[in-house]
Structure 1
Amino acid sequence: MNGILNLFISIVQAPALLVGLLAILGLLLQKKKGTVVIQGGIKTFAGFLILTGGAGILSSSLDPFAKMFQFALNVQGVVPSNEAVVAIALVEYGSLTALIMFVGMIVNVLLSRFTRFKYIFLTGQAMLYVSCLTAVILVSTGMGTGIKTILLGGIFEGTLLTITPALCQPYMRVITGGDAVAMGHTGNIGYALSGWFGEHFGNKAHSTEDINIPKSLSFLRDSTVSITIVMAIVYLILAILTGQTFVETNLSHGSNYLVFAIIQAGTFAAGFAVVLQGVRMILAEIIPAFQGIAMKLVPNSKPALDVPIIFPYAPNAVLLGFLVSFFVGALSMFAMVAMHTVVIIPGVVGHFFCGAAAAIYGNAKGGRRGAIIGTIINSLLISWLPLFILPVLGNMSLASSTFADTDYLIPGIILGNLGDLGQTALTISILAFLVLVILSSRLIKKPSTEQ
């Protein structure tokens, strides 16, 4: 049993392998030639590895940024980091997490098959993290680790990961110019809110991607060039504020601190370029392959993929979103210091990925103003909601890290507070959530209005 669980966890923790296998399945269902099946599977697999490799490069370049920021401002507190808090939790809840995730995947596929919410969630690490959050909260309410917890946790996770891509899809259609792919990330609630605020308070006539650049500066239209220059300025300012001694002693291994800052900015831009290449490969392979699954197993279904999938559609919004989101997070941190609450230190990686996506969503129907407003809303959520999820995490609330994205924070807070009302109330609420999603699907009259 443990061997099967370990194999299952290993596969879902490797989304490249998971999606590559699904691409192979889709091509086999279409009865493609063996060479086409092998090529599609390998290119999808490699594309995801390229994408995750690029995301890793981005994250590694942001790590010294976070350390310089904390040292320069001399603050200590809780840093939202999904990877860190899940790594701690899996030591105690590993088997329960895997079983909840397995049930959740089945629920997601069944809902996609039998409702009009045709979104199959394919971001393996996000599924694992949501399962882990669910396990931690359910156990902290006293429910135990038995079959009831596994089934309820799986129903909750599968339902959540079916409905959140649906919330984002009206904006995904605008962003991608089609309806072939969905958003499969754990910031979806925040992105949908960003899109809504952008749509209602922005101005679509002025997109982030239509910024007028003089001919003499036309080279800045190249995203690699513009990102390198902007991030170099940011890193240099932060390095100077941090001081030469700290950077060269703790981060650069003796290299000049200003040179180190410039290299990190270039590394960030390089990671972004790698992500874009991975996205192109994935979209070229997974969408045609997924048609086989859609036709045979889950008609009209769409793959819900990780957040970098939208970065190529609005590279200016990516940079704008990160800077605005992190700035709002920093202001929120200072407000917490003044209020003498637990201090939530802005997680740079979270503010980059979630801030970038929020800006893209806000820009979709609200232009530059919508991008900024949407990013501010999302940043306020991921900056302040960690304060409210800490009390419902049981002994995990003592960790120096916590969950970072809206789809952990908002459902987690609701689930934890329902648990305070007793196990019966919690059970009824999870089942009611499932029924509500099924009923809301029935209200969708036409396929063209699928949400």
Structure 2
Amino acid sequence: MFIINFIVNEVFGQSSVIISLIACLGLIIQKKSIGKVIEGTFKTLLGFLVMSAGINIIVGATNFLSDIFQQAFNLQGYIASVEAITGLAQRELGREAALTLLTIFIVNVLIARFTKFKYIFLTGQALLWMATMGSVIGYKSGITGIPLILLGGIVGGIFAVFMPAIAQPVVRKITGNDNIALGHFCTIGYTFEAFISKITGNQRKSTEDIKLPKSFSFLQDSYLTMAIVMLIIYLIPAIICGQEIISQYSGGKNYIIYTVLESINFTVGIYILVTGVRMLLNEIVPAFRGIALKIVPDAIPALDCPVLFPYAPNAVLIGFLTTTIGTILGMFIFPLFGMALIIPSMSSNFFAGGTAGIFGNALGGRRGAIIGGLAHGLFITYLPAMLVPLLEAYGFRGVTFTDSDVMTNGLLVGNILKGSYIFPICYIIFIILITVFVILAVKKEKLTPNSETNTSENIKNENLNEGIELFNNKQYEKACLIFEELIEKDKSNKETQKYLLEVYNILLKQYSSDKKEELVKEYLKKLDALRDTIRKNI
């Protein structure tokens, strides 16, 4: 039992150890030199720990914000905190949760090995939240021992494979490839935002294209913008609380100065997090391919949500702000219908809201990210409010889970074990409908000469349309020659160059998922080189 506990708690319970061992094994399988194996393993560990350090700074800063927010507005309700409720559950079900976590990972690998869903979920803390939910729901329904562990493990393992699969069409659109998947149990919330964004948004105007007047050009620096926005968000509740309350956190320091520094700490955490993400991806993706080819052919690593942040930093900030507004609205709206008052978690709002913002921007541009973010905030407030009656029946007071997929597990399994089937059936139908809608929406975004994407006030060129048509008809060489000529022809026109870059980006994203044709790969490399040329011209 000691060995099992050690493996479960010290290996599978530590995301950094899991990912580093996977990197090490992948490099060994690729027959890299001892030096390369050591370098790759420790760089992976370093990148993950740098990312974790950033996350810890962010969590500390957002916990402070949540506390002063509650005290400033005198709110009493249920705190949405997966960490807090997991801590409470671990006191009674620590062993069961640990063994359930191990079972989830095994089931995940088996499903990936023997089905077409090749996703390996590598976010350890998210697996722990899912394992805890499975243990709590099963145990409080009268299930114990091996049946409890198997129930939580099988259900959690299914979630660990299918949630990345649901998100992958949008993730592929965001990243342009299938090198990574999203391993974060908030996928249903992200899909809901993508659904709302597609209906309400305008994809042609991205959050990343926001331009400011020259006098505010300094705000183009995303970190500086974030620092200023967060400063305002922190100062409002801090001023309402005053020196007496803030001194509980500041140790006697001036409450305004302390609050300003905490708000800046948030941005520092983001900077560190993004740096760690880049280090991690540079090592884990190549190493992962080595182990995947042996154990799970064509496996895709499902990583934590911050891996997407560098792709759309403006969308992260917009997603966080709009999700926060949505959760605050939900906090006041849902109690009017007899539901629990849910006090939002700023930490969850940032990570889940920021990632949802990226999804919203991908399908609906800046307008979609804003409207979808508000809807996402309401959605992730509604789910914990629905979960409260179940948790109260199990003896939990004052706290509730976050993370939409974890709550979905609890709502579905909990209601089914109680013999209530209407809500689970309706909710499953809802998930299927929004998922199918989003997947079809992404698939329909095929670039054609007559599509709206190819129209621009700055460029109306028959040669460009001809090149796109040739590329779509697999005449890649002729198409690339035309694309190259277009770049040279209007080298000095930055607007034209930017538009060409946009078109080539879409082509790359459209065809990069096709792994069967070597010819496509060859000319995608050519297209990528053309993008580099355009960037130099701009």
| TM-score, normalised via structure 1 length | 0.91
Q: List structure 1 runs of 4+ shifted beyond 3 angstroms.
A: 336-341, 393-397, 447-450
Paired residue for 2:134?
134
Going from structure 1 to structure 2, the CA distance change for 1:3 and 1:113 (only over 3 Å counts) comes to closer
Residues 82-139 of structure 1, C-alpha deviations (whole Å, 9 max, x = no match): 1111111011111111222222111111111111111000001111110110011111
Secondary structure at 1:408's aligned position in 2? helix
User: Partner amino acid for 1:59?
Assistant: V
Secondary structure at 1:185's aligned position in 2? coil
> What are the ranges of 5 or more consecutive residues in structure 1 without an aligned counterpart?
441-446
Going from structure 1 to structure 2, the CA distance change for 1:187 and 1:163 (only over 3 Å counts) comes to same
> Percentage identity across aligned positions?
43
User: Partner amino acid for 2:20?
Assistant: G
Paired residue for 1:360?
358
Paired residue for 2:35?
35
Q: Is the 8 A contact 2:12 2:102 kept in 1?
A: no
Q: Is the 8 A contact 2:133 2:409 kept in 1?
A: no
Partners of 1:127 and 1:169 in 2: CA distance: 19
Shift in Å, 1:229: 1.1
Partners of 1:125 and 1:321 in 2: CA distance: 22
Matched, 1:297 2:285: no
Shift in Å, 1:345: 0.6
CA RMSD in angstroms comes to: 2.4
Larger mean Cα displacement after TM superposition, 85-94 or 187-196: 187-196
Shift in Å, 1:329: 1.1
Partners of 1:368 and 1:255 in 2: CA distance: 40
Shift in Å, 1:327: 1.2
Q: Is the 8 A contact 1:361 1:374 kept in 2?
A: no
Q: Is the 8 A contact 1:89 1:396 kept in 2?
A: no
Partners of 1:338 and 1:390 in 2: CA distance: 16
Q: Is the 8 A contact 2:121 2:161 kept in 1?
A: yes
User: Partner amino acid for 1:139?
Assistant: Y
Q: Is the 8 A contact 1:391 1:397 kept in 2?
A: no
> What are the ranges of 5 or more consecutive residues in structure 2 without an aligned counterpart?
437-511, 516-538
Shift in Å, 1:305: 0.4
Paired residue for 1:112?
112
Partners of 1:121 and 1:184 in 2: CA distance: 5
Larger mean Cα displacement after TM superposition, 237-246 or 175-184: 237-246
Partners of 1:343 and 1:310 in 2: CA distance: 31
User: Partner amino acid for 1:225?
Assistant: L
Query: 345, 348, 352: which one pairs with 1:347?
Result: 345
Paired residue for 1:444?
none
User: Partner amino acid for 1:129?
Assistant: W
Query: 418, 421, 434: which one pairs with 2:419?
Result: 421
User: Partner amino acid for 1:291?
Assistant: R
Residues 222-280 of structure 1, C-alpha deviations (whole Å, 9 max, x = no match): 22211111111221222222223322x32222222221221111101100000010010
Q: Is the 8 A contact 1:134 1:153 kept in 2?
A: yes
Shift in Å, 1:338: 4.4
Paired residue for 1:220?
219
Q: Is the 8 A contact 1:50 1:275 kept in 2?
A: yes
Going from structure 1 to structure 2, the CA distance change for 1:384 and 1:397 (only over 3 Å counts) comes to farther
Shift in Å, 1:448: 5.1
Paired residue for 1:313?
311
Residues 2-35 of structure 1, C-alpha deviations (whole Å, 9 max, x = no match): 4521441222232111100000011111111111
Matched, 1:288 2:292: no
Q: Is the 8 A contact 2:326 2:375 kept in 1?
A: no
Shift in Å, 1:396: 4.5
Secondary structure at 1:76's aligned position in 2? coil
Going from structure 1 to structure 2, the CA distance change for 1:331 and 1:177 (only over 3 Å counts) comes to same
Larger RCO, structure (CA 8 Å, separation 6 or more): 1
Shift in Å, 1:197: 2.4
Secondary structure at 2:342's aligned position in 1? coil
- Map 1:300-449; keep pairs closer than 5 Å: 300-339=298-337, 341-393=339-391, 396-421=394-419
Going from structure 1 to structure 2, the CA distance change for 1:244 and 1:53 (only over 3 Å counts) comes to same
Secondary structure at 2:343's aligned position in 1? coil
Shift in Å, 1:300: 0.9
Shift in Å, 1:177: 1.9
Paired residue for 1:443?
none
Paired residue for 1:54?
54
Going from structure 1 to structure 2, the CA distance change for 1:79 and 1:302 (only over 3 Å counts) comes to same
Secondary structure at 1:370's aligned position in 2? helix
Q: Is the 8 A contact 1:206 1:367 kept in 2?
A: yes
Q: Is the 8 A contact 2:178 2:513 kept in 1?
A: no
Secondary structure at 2:208's aligned position in 1? helix
Larger mean Cα displacement after TM superposition, 96-105 or 131-140: 96-105
Partners of 2:394 and 2:514 in 1: CA distance: 41
Partners of 2:403 and 2:363 in 1: CA distance: 23
Q: Is the 8 A contact 1:90 1:97 kept in 2?
A: yes
Number of equivalent positions? 432
Q: Is the 8 A contact 1:236 1:262 kept in 2?
A: yes
Paired residue for 2:195?
196
Paired residue for 1:101?
101
- Map 1:144-163; keep pairs closer than 5 Å: 145-163=144-162
